Amino acid sequence: MHLLLGCFALLAASFSTAALADDASDIRKIEVSWGEAFRKADYATIERIVAPEFKLLRAAGWDKVGFTPRAEWMVNAKRFTFHKYEVEVVNVAVTGNAAVATVKGRWRVSDRPEEAFVVTDTFVKRKGRWQAVFRHSTPFRDR
């Protein structure tokens, strides 16, 4: 009996690990498609990725920390022309219906110089679909 229960426990753990790996893969794909959507000005895709309660925190220094709610963030994003938006997903941590992705990248928008950044995105899974609820963005100089 104990052997049978142990087998079921191992089987459940393997399904759980596989599901977490699948979810992490899904988050990585979303991060890449988010960047592609910016470059293509595909705001329908961005609308699907970003949850209604989404909020951006941009930290550019001790005295330069600001929150931007979703509606304002969408208006701002649409004002830019994205010449470059490249990302590399550094890490994805998934637990249950929540995930956190750490992403580094570079972008060049409108007439601004190219900027490197690190973002940490928090996702929730609702009705089988991942959406970003929070993004912490920090620009940095790497050169």
Comparison of pLDDT for 2 and 105, the residue scoring more: 105
User: In 42-89, where does DSSP find H-type helix?
Assistant: 43-49, 70-79
pLDDT of 15 reads 47
20 vs 46: CA distance, rounded Å: 24
Contacts of 85 (CB under 8 A, 6+ apart): 35, 36, 38, 39, 105, 106, 107
Per-residue confidence band for 11, with pLDDT thresholds at 50, 70 and 90: very low
94 vs 101: CA distance, rounded Å: 9
Q: What is the pTM of this model?
A: 0.81
